[in-house]
Each structure stands twice: as C-alpha cells, then as structure tokens.
C-alpha cells in the first residue's frame, strides 16, 4: 500500500468517527421537526402495534347465528346459537430515503464545526413523510393499495343536484341544502347499519371547508357561519351531544369519481380504519461506502390504510368542481 493510499485510508477512518459522532443526534433532531402538512394521523388512526419486521398482520372476526324463542317446559326444541369466525390479512412493505457525503465534505464540516447531517436528514425525513402521507390518503398503485379517500368498499353517492341551475356544487347551494347534504350522508350510515354505527368525523375538500367557514346564516343570536352551525346542528351531535369533528383535507379536492370534490363521513376509530405503521421512521447507522465516501438513510415499514368496517364510512361526491 503506497503512502497516498495509506493517508487516504487514515483520513477516511478519522472522518468516519466524526460521521458516527454527528449521526447520534440525527434521529432526535428529525423527530423534533413537525410535519403539519402531512398529518395523516389527524385523519386516520395510526397503529404501530406488533413486530416491526412482521410481513403483515392477520385479524379475526367473530359473529353469531341463532335466536331465542318461547319454550314449553316439556319441549325439546331449544334453539342453539352458533359462532362463525373469519380472518383477513394485510401485508407490510418497507420504504426508505438516504443521503451520502464524501471525504472532503466530512473534513470541512469537522474543520469549521458545521452540522453535516441536519439539512440532508430533514430532506430525507420529509420524503419519507410525503410518501407515508400519500400511501395513507390515496394508497399505492405499485402495491395495489387504496387509501382513506378512495376505498372501493366504502359506500358512495353523488349529493343532490338541486342547487342553482341544477348544480350539485356547494357553491351553488343554500346553507340549508349544504347542511342537508351532510346530514343525509351521516343518516344514511346510521340507517344502513340498523342504528349501530355512529359518525363522529367529517372531512372536506379545502374549497368546501373555506366555503362553509365563511358562509353565514341567520341564527337566534345574530349571524353564525355554516361551519359553526354544522358542528352542533347534525345527526351525530343531536343523538350524542358530542360535536362533529370537521377538518379540511387536500386529497379530497379531486377524489370523486369524476375528479371533483368528495366529502367523507366516518367513525374515527382503529376498529373502523387504521394506518399500519409497524416501524415509524428509523435512522440507519452511517457506513463507509468507499475509501472516500459515506452513506446513511432513513427507513420505515407500513401497510397503508386498511378499512376494516366500511359500513362505518361513506363518501359524498361532487360538492366542489373538478380542478
């Protein structure tokens, strides 16, 4: 080994210890950063249970068949109940995003006491969060997954086209018609499930949310917005006394079958739907890639959004125009 190669090898070893020392704080810094624009947990319950390296998850459902009836003391026709069991499975997959440095960058960072990893780590974490959010909301064609806004098992209807000019758009409707559209969708879930399921959450395209947040209607105490009234003037609140959780969601802006706005009503509970995240973001140990370069990355494992009780959800389409 000539002197030049020996020197490069020694420099790389010294630089590697610097990389490792800085790398210890990468994960903490990343987890301190917040991603409000990718807050899929606000809309879909995130489940991190189970082994992070499992290939997937399996769950079981139990139901019963039978009846009760009047009997005679001398009768022999006691009705017996039977239980039925079913199972379903859901696969997990791994995602990742990384970055690298060379010997010059590492030594210059050490010389000037620069944070070598901060920006690259945040950029990689941002890419991971973007992909997780996309998978949670719309699924993945590569994996054959659907998401929160487009699950084919969920009941779907077009809202009534009785606005100005026969339009279904909320911009062409009165406050009463908008309130009716929402309550009809909520009430439909209640009716289809034999009054079993509650709807406690409503998600809207941003345009629809802004419309009801600014559209006023007369009230006994003066003027309030449609959004204010809707939070307490809905089927769910009338029956439970609890306010309806209403949030905007940008992925709903083009989620309808015709590319228009879609609203979603649902019970926000892991029993109904869940975003599988058995392994949240994890920063990998840096490694020396070659004699003068280093690399590391961030990984996560997810199974996407799984709707387990589609009857506890419903889609209402065409409330805003296609983009």
Q: What angle do CA 224, 228, 233 make, to 5 degrees?
A: 105
Q: Does residue 154 contact residue 308 with C-beta atoms inside 8 Å?
A: no
pLDDT tens track for 250-301? 999 999 999 999 999 999 999 999 999 999 888 888 888 888 888 888 899 9
Q: Percentage of the chain with pLDDT > 70?
A: 77
* Torsion over CA: 245, 249, 251, 256 (sign): positive
Over residues 225-252, the pLDDT tens digits come to 999 999 988 989 988 899 999 999 999 9
Q: Where do the structural domains in the chain lie, given as residue ranges?
A: 12-55+89-146+274-303, 155-271+308-320
User: How high is the pLDDT of residue 13?
Assistant: 58
Mean pLDDT of 14-32: 57
Q: What is the pTM of this model?
A: 0.79
Query: What is d(CA 1, CA 252) in angstroms, rounded to the nearest whole number?
Result: 62
Residue, of 29 and 192, whose pLDDT is higher: 192
Confidence check: pLDDT of 4 > 50: no
**For helices 3-23 and 103-111, what crossing angle results, to 10°?**
60
For domain 155-271+308-320, give the CATH number. Answer: 3.30.2320.10
Digit-coded pLDDT (tens) for 66-100: 567 667 667 667 676 665 555 556 788 999 998 88
Mean pLDDT value across residues 122-134: 90
Stated as kind and residue range, the H or E segment containing 304 is strand 304-307
Q: Are 287 and 295 in contact (CB under 8 A)?
A: yes
Q: What's the pLDDT score for residue 269?
A: 95
CATH code for the structural domain at 12-55+89-146+274-303: 3.30.2400.30
Cα–Cα distance, 196 to 177 (Å, whole number):
26
Take residue 176 and report the two structure tokens written for it: 């009463």
**What single DSSP character describes residue 181?**
H
């Amino acid at each position: 080994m000539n002197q030049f190669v020996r020197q490069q090898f020694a420099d790389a070893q010294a630089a590697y210890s610097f990389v490792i020392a800085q790398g210890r704080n990468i994960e903490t810094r990343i987890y301190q950063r917040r991603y409000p624009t990718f807050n899929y947990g606000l809309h879909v319950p995130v489940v991190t249970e189970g082994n992070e390296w499992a290939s997937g998850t399996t769950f079981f459902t139990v139901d019963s068949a039978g009846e009760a009836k009047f009997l005679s003391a001398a009768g022999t026709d006691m009705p017996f109940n039977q239980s039925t069991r079913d199972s379903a499975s859901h696969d997990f997959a791994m995602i990742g995003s990384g970055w690298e440095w060379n010997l010059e960058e590492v030594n210059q960072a050490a010389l000037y006491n620069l944070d070598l990893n901060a920006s690259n780590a945040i950029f990689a974490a941002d890419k991971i969060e973007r992909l997780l959010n996309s998978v949670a909301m719309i699924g993945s064609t590569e994996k054959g997954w659907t998401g929160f806004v487009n699950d084919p098992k969920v009941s779907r209807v077009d809202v009534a086209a009785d606005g100005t000019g026969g339009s279904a758009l909320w911009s062409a409707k009165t406050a009463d018609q908008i309130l009716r559209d929402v309550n009809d969708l909520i009430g439909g879930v209640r009716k289809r499930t034999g009054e079993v399921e509650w709807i406690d959450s409503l998600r809207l395209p941003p345009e629809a949310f802004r419309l009801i947040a600014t559209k006023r209607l007369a009230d006994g105490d003066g003027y309030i917005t449609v959004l204010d009234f809707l939070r307490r003037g809905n089927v769910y609140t009338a029956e439970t006394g609890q306010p309806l959780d209403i949030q905007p969601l940008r992925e709903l802006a083009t989620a309808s079958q015709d590319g228009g706005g879609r609203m979603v009503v649902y019970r926000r509970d892991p029993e109904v739907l869940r975003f599988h995240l058995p392994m949240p973001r994890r920063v990998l140990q840096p490694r020396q890639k070659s004699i003068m370069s280093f690399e590391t990355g961030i990984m996560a494992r997810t199974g996407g959004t799984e709707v387990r009780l589609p009857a506890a959800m419903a889609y209402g389409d065409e409330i805003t125009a296609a983009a």
